[in-house]
Amino acid sequence: MIGGLGAEAAVGIFTHLIFIALAWWALQALNFDKLLRAGRVLQARILYIMLSIVIGSAVSNFFLDYLLLSRQLQHIF
């Protein structure tokens, strides 16, 4: 049981990092220059990081919940 929890924790951390990186990569396609004030580069970078974390974590939680629920389907029968 303990080994299973460690593996689940590792999968959770890995998927969070992967989806945050994918969100960062996807946000690079958007042009936020017109929405941001000139000379606010540090704030813009922090905004990109925070948006990446929020979007990546939400998608990762969906993925992990889907994985957990699909594993529990075997208990129906």
d(CA 46, CA 22): 17
Tens-place pLDDT, residues 5-35: 788 889 899 999 999 999 999 998 887 777 7
What's the pLDDT score for residue 2?
52
Tens-place pLDDT, residues 36-59: 788 888 888 898 999 999 999 999
Res. 71 pLDDT band, cuts 50 70 90: confident
| Residue range of the domain that includes 43 | 2-75
Question: How far is residue 21 from each of residues 2, 25, 44, 47, measured CA to CA in Å?
Answer: 29, 6, 17, 15
- Structural domain total, the chain: 1
